[in-house]
Structure 1
Amino acid sequence: MIRVLTVPADPEAPHALTEMNPADLLGFQRLVGGSIERVDLAGAGSLWVNEDGPRLCLPLNERATALAAFHAPRFTWDPQIVGDTYLTGPVDADGLDTDVPDTLVGLLTAEQIRLEVRRSGGEWADNGVHPGLLAAYAAVWEKVGLLADVKPGSFFAVRALPLGTAAGEPTAGSATDGEAAWTVWGDRVDPYAVRQTRAQAQAAVDKAAAEGDPGAYAEHPDGSTLEPTPTR
């Protein structure tokens, strides 16, 4: 199982961390509503989109577009990302996706984003702090002097750095939602469920055992386990 960050096109819909089987192609297709296509985020991870999104006239995904822009070789308004998307980490040696890194989650959850600019391979220079990724994205072309003094033959690079994570927002390293941290495993299905409370996990283990899976158990990140409740 890997941690995936879903980023809906609807700006009012929250992004959310979920766990997925990295080989579950149909599950990933459901996240975007069709066939998936990968957008490389400069080696930091992958942004997955509906490959038919432009043809289907899916709505603009502002958050995903901003992420793609800041991870392009040079900041650009293209590509325009449309439709629901999700984020994963870089692929592993077997070609499977890995956990979405905290660096990408942080860009979406940060209360403030600092812009830094580097011209023609020079040093990174502070170019202001903005209230979130979308504000930083919009400000790139508006910042005085950011493009005006770029001379022929020179180039600039821009990067966004998260400054603090908004209270209550998820991070890839702390996606257990407090008490809901148990994963239920079994011989028939691995896993039965993830991010369960202790009571939910015990009920799931007991149900699995009653249905003929005596090897079912629940595991907490701290190493604790729950076995089926003994029956008389």
Structure 2
Amino acid sequence: MVTGIVIPADESEVVYQSEFNDLRGYQQAVGGHIEAIDLDQPPVTLFANDEAKLLQLPVNRRATLLWWLTTPLFRHQDVICGNTVLVGQPNAEGETQNLAQDVRRLLLDRAVYRVEVQTGSDSWNGNQLRFEDYFEAAAWGLSLADRWTLVTGVRVVGA
């Protein structure tokens, strides 16, 4: 059994933790065959419906923001559609792993977030702005990166 987080495309629905026993569980959560999208930081995998765009499923703004945070190459180039499942990346045998507890806590247990950016160095810097929603913080951070060309990295952390 794998513990993950479901990110519904409908933003009126909450992001929630769920247990998955097998491939059918992931397929049921995303409404079809799955496609794996690996993210580097944090090391997680998003499962999405591999026909979501063909089926004209709605854009999943929250999953897209998470993807854009970790994979700048796709910012404003592509979006994720339909419901998604966030899990840990596969192990050496290719088996999907539980979502790391620190990622689960960040997305589900935090009440206040802040944004940190890198501007060419390895150090992360932030300001005093606070957000009550992880994904709103992500949207603000990505907007800042669009406006401030010195930004080379964006992340959302607990405040």
Q: Which runs of 5+ in 2 are unaligned?
A: none
- Separation in 1, partners of 2:39, 2:81: 16
- Separation in 2, partners of 1:117, 1:96: 33
Shift of 1:11: 1.1
Q: Tell me the residue number matched to 2:27.
A: 29
Q: Tell me the residue number matched to 2:61.
A: 62
Q: Tell me the residue number matched to 2:38.
A: 40
> What is the SS of the residue equivalent to 2:155?
strand
> What is the SS of the residue equivalent to 2:130?
strand
Superposed, 1:103-114 pairs within 5 Å as 103-109=102-108, 110-114=110-114
Change (3 A) 1:3 1:123: same
Choose between structure 1 and 2: higher helix proportion.
2
- Separation in 2, partners of 1:5, 1:61: 14
Shift of 1:49: 0.3
The answer to whether the 8 A contact 2:142-2:154 is kept is no
Q: Which has the higher contact order (CA 8 A, sep 6+)?
A: 2
Superposed, 1:47-196 pairs within 5 Å as 47-73=46-72, 76-109=75-108, 110-127=110-127, 128-143=129-144, 147-148=147-148, 150=150, 156-163=152-159
TM-score w.r.t. length of structure 1: 0.60
Structure with greater Cα Rg: 1
* Greater mean alpha carbon deviation, residues 68-77 or residues 112-121: 68-77
- Separation in 1, partners of 2:105, 2:29: 21
> What is the SS of the residue equivalent to 2:112?
strand
Q: Deviations over 1:2-31 (max 9, x none)?
A: 21211111112222222222xx22222111
The answer to whether the 8 A contact 1:74-1:156 is kept is no
Q: Deviations over 1:64-110 (max 9, x none)?
A: 11211222156824431110110111211210101111233234222
- Separation in 2, partners of 1:148, 1:28: 38
- Separation in 2, partners of 1:75, 1:111: 28
Change (3 A) 1:30 1:129: same
TM-score w.r.t. length of structure 2: 0.84
Q: Which runs of 5+ in 1 are unaligned?
A: 164-232
Shift of 1:139: 1.4
Change (3 A) 1:11 1:149: closer
Shift of 1:59: 0.7
- Separation in 1, partners of 2:112, 2:76: 21
- Separation in 1, partners of 2:33, 2:105: 27
- Separation in 2, partners of 1:112, 1:120: 27
- Separation in 2, partners of 1:25, 1:97: 10
- Separation in 2, partners of 1:78, 1:115: 22
- Separation in 1, partners of 2:72, 2:32: 28
Superposed, 1:191-202 pairs within 5 Å as none
1:139 is matched by which residue type in structure 2? W
Residue correspondences, number: 156
Cα RMSD, aligned residues only: 2.3
